[in-house]
Amino acid sequence: MIVSIARATSPRRPAWLHAALWVAVAAFLSTPGPLDAQQDVGEPLRLGPPATNEREADRPVETQPESEPASPDSEPEAGFGQPPDEDIEGIEVDRLADIEPDGIGILDPGRGGLGPAIWEGTSRHVVLEMLPRIPTDLDSPALQDLANRLLASATRPPDRRQTSSDSGSLLLLRMEILAAMGEADGVREMLRVIPRDRGPAGLRRLQTESSFLAGDSEEACRIVRNALAESDEPFWQMALAVCQLGDGAADEANLTLSLLRETGAEVDPGFHALFDAVERGAAQAPAFADAGPLHVALLALGEVAAPSNVVAQASPRVLLALARQESGGAESRTEAAERAAALGLLDAEELGAYYARFDFDAELLSEAASMDGADGLSPVRKRALLFQAAREEPAPAVLAELASEALEGAGTALYLPTARLFAPMLADIEVRPDLAWFAETAGRALYAAGRGDAAGRWLTMVRQESILNPEAARTVTALWPYARLSRETEVPLNEGLAAWRSVQSGDNLETLSYRESLLRATFEALDRAEPRSWIDIAAQESQNESPVASAALVYALKHAGQERRRGEAVMLTLIAVGEQGVENCHPLVLGKALSALKEVGLEEEAHALALEAAVRNGI
């Protein structure tokens, strides 16, 4: 079945909102204010439309450009920079001559932005050349959050200098990276605050793709029809065919694609295969590679689920769209949601909602702790079963078994979202000596989830039991690194890396040496004293061939921190750590990144990244 895409024009936003947007951008870009001082950045926030509250006036938004009056009969194009009505009482509309769109953003320091002066001391050509090196598939929610805040912050643009490479739109580059990272909602919000006449070329396609991914085909198709008059790029022809098919004009859609083929343009064969399947009403989509916004739109039109290979290989920008696809099966949608959660695109509560959609009979739920009868379930369904069973389990000991099974089965990639999902349940378990066997599992998960207070109760209990219980003593030592990295006051005394190393078992020498060096580097970067010296570690380590980032990049990161260039330090952290991945990141690189973040005032973020590194590397 093909779902119709209506041609109706979406209603314009309220006039008062237009006026507020335009006036706020003028205030931000033309006059100095509280944003001129680089202060505390506040709590990191997810990108998306901000709530209306007392901070509404602080948002960097649009300024009214001069333009020819539109014809009364013309249809406004849905898109960035729609101007406000000019007859609003109390609002004076004027032109701001020197708007610099490269500094436009949707986050100020009070909403998680990194501050307006983050590029002070950094030349524009450096930013243009280095930003594209930020990986779009960061394996760390902490890095993902930093990237969002770096790219969406309202700032003064970096210094423009006369160099051959100092060209191109920084605003477009920032938004393209955000889109590739899966932040479609944030991109759409950014588009709303860009003055129409100051937006760089390329924003129209970005808006179209973001609208398709957000499921707003009406808006996307309006933009497509307008763009066709100005561009003959194959993308617009393919998008037109999708819109025509959605309108029920299959013959016109096929003609559009036929004409495109005649031009000799290269068109993704997977797109054609999916298009044909949707047109004939196929119950299943064919396998294809490299899903993009147009593929997502076709899947929605045909009300068919994405093939398993597509979900497994999907880029971050389409993961949320696949997870939210109503026609998709529960398993494929949840698999997409798990991958999105692992990247920091989906929070734990949302992931739990996906797990809750599976139907399990009461007998299977009651046997979940022993996993009897669950051998035939897929990994996704097993995780959903354990979550549902744990959520309803009143017995602390059984809940502990369920949580242990879920955390062990999560692996390194899903451990952090799983820990955050189970953290409220773990925090409610009564801490008692007969559950000492569970203390290490519970403490590690709670520390990883940012619940150091609850983790500390388990640590206190096993410290008390350690006098008579050797296993409890080993647990104290195992949790000691997390207590230090979490900044909690409850940290065991008389512990250290030497003691920690002595209780490790099952690791080969190379793995143990790497983990010890990683911890030593994080402690040093975060100013945590450690009596075990580097020379002692070196004397016991194996010869490690782990790759390290380029010397130039590491030294640039170090100097960015020392010279308090916040934007540069965050950008280089994302590149240096992101290129290697938090898992298996070289201790030298991680240590320099943590030091740089701390020196530019992002100490909380540094601790979060250090904890993630410990978790992802099996410590």
Mean pLDDT of 286-299: 90
**Domain assignment present for 594:** yes
Query: Measured over all CA atoms, what is the biggest interatomic distance in the chain, rounded to whole angstroms?
Result: 86
What is the structure's pLDDT at 494? 64
Alpha helices in 466-550 (DSSP H): 470-485, 497-502, 509-525, 534-540
Cβ density class 432-459: b for 16+ within 10 Å, e for less: eeebbebbbbbbbbbbbbbbbebbbbbb
Say if residue 394's pLDDT is above 80: yes
Looking at the chain, the number of H-run helices and the number of E-run strands are 28, 0
Amino acid at 479: L
Count of residues making up the chain: 619
Per-chain mean pLDDT for the chain:
80
Choose between 295 and 94: higher pLDDT.
295
pLDDT at 119: 94
Tell whether the model's pLDDT for residue 439 goes beyond 90: yes
Sign of CA dihedral 428, 431, 432, 435: positive
| Model confidence, pTM | 0.79
Residue 3: pLDDT band (50, 70, 90) is: very low
Alpha helix locations (H) across 343-469? 348-355, 362-366, 379-392, 396-428, 439-448, 452-465
* Rounded Cα gap, residues 200 and 319, in angstroms: 27
pLDDT of residue 550: 81
pLDDT of residue 284: 86
List, as one string, the DSSP characters of 151-179. HHB--PPPBP---TT--S-HHHHHHHHHH
Residue 83 has pLDDT above 70, yes or no: no
Ranking 9-13, 49-53, 298-302, 485-489 by mean pLDDT, the lowest is 9-13
Which of 263-272, 428-437, 504-513, 537-546 is the least confident region? 537-546
Question: Predicted confidence band at 195 (pLDDT cuts at 50, 70, 90)?
Answer: confident
The predicted structure's pLDDT at residue 361: 87
Which pLDDT does position 41 carry in this prediction? Answer: 40
Mean pLDDT for the stretch of residues 204-226: 91
Q: Give yes or no for residue 73 having a pLDDT over 90.
A: no
Tens digit of each residue's pLDDT (9 = 90 or more) over 448-501: 999 999 999 999 999 999 888 889 989 999 999 998 888 766 677 667 888 888
More confident residue, 450 or 14: 450
Q: What is the pLDDT of residues 132-190, one digit of tens each?
A: 999 999 989 999 999 999 999 999 988 876 544 555 689 999 999 999 999 888 888 88
b/e 319-331 (16+ beta carbons within 10 angstroms → b): bbbbbbbebbebb
Q: Is the pLDDT of residue 198 over 50?
A: yes
- Rounded to an integer, the average pLDDT of 615-619 is 90
Say if CB 62 and CB 199 are below 8 A apart.
no
- 96 versus 522: which is more confidently predicted? 522
Q: Which position has the token pair 């100097």?
A: 559
DSSP 101: G
Q: Taking residues 517-534, what's their average pLDDT? A: 85
- What does the pLDDT read at residue 309? 85
pLDDT confidence tier of residue 80, bands split at 50, 70 and 90? low
What digits encode the pLDDT tens for the residues 535-594? 778 877 776 656 677 888 899 999 999 999 999 999 999 999 999 899 888 999 999 999
Identity of the residue numbered 347: D
Of 151-165, 273-287, 402-416, which gets the smallest average pLDDT?
151-165
Residue, of 95 and 535, whose pLDDT is higher: 535
Q: Is residue 566 part of a domain?
A: yes
CA R_g for the chain? 27
pLDDT band at 101 (very low <50, low <70, confident <90, very high): confident
**pLDDT for residue 91:** 37
User: Mean pLDDT over residues 4-13, rounded?
Assistant: 36
586 lies in some domain: yes
**610 phi/psi in degrees, rounded to 5:** -65, -40
Look at residue 235 in the predicted model and tell me its pLDDT: 92
Q: Is residue 515 part of a domain?
A: yes
Residue 559, in any domain of the structure: yes
Let me know: does 135 contact 343? Beta carbons within 8 Å.
Answer: no
Higher pLDDT among residues 398 and 44, named by residue:
398
% of the chain surpassing 90 pLDDT: 47
172 within domain boundaries: no
Report for 74-83, 188-197, 491-500: range of highest mean pLDDT: 188-197
- What are phi and psi for residue 107, nearest 5 degrees? -120, 120
Q: How many independent structural domains does the chain possess? A: 1
Compute the 3-state secondary structure of the chain and give helix, strand, coil in percent, each to the nearest 5: 60, 0, 40
Domain range for 548 is 511-616
Look at residues 150, 6, 251 and name the one whose alpha carbon lies nearest to residue 565.
Answer: 150
With bands split at pLDDT 50, 70 and 90, how would you rate the model's confidence at 57?
Answer: very low
Q: Residue 534 falls within a domain, yes or no?
A: yes
Q: Is the separation of the CB atoms in 225 and 243 below 8 Å?
A: yes
With respect to residue 460, please indicate whether it lies within any of the assigned structural domains.
no
Share of residues in the chain with pLDDT > 70 (%): 80
Is the pLDDT assigned to residue 287 strictly greater than 80?
yes
Which DSSP letter does residue 196 get? G
Return the pLDDT at 160: 73
> Alpha-carbon distance 294 to 126, whole Å?
33
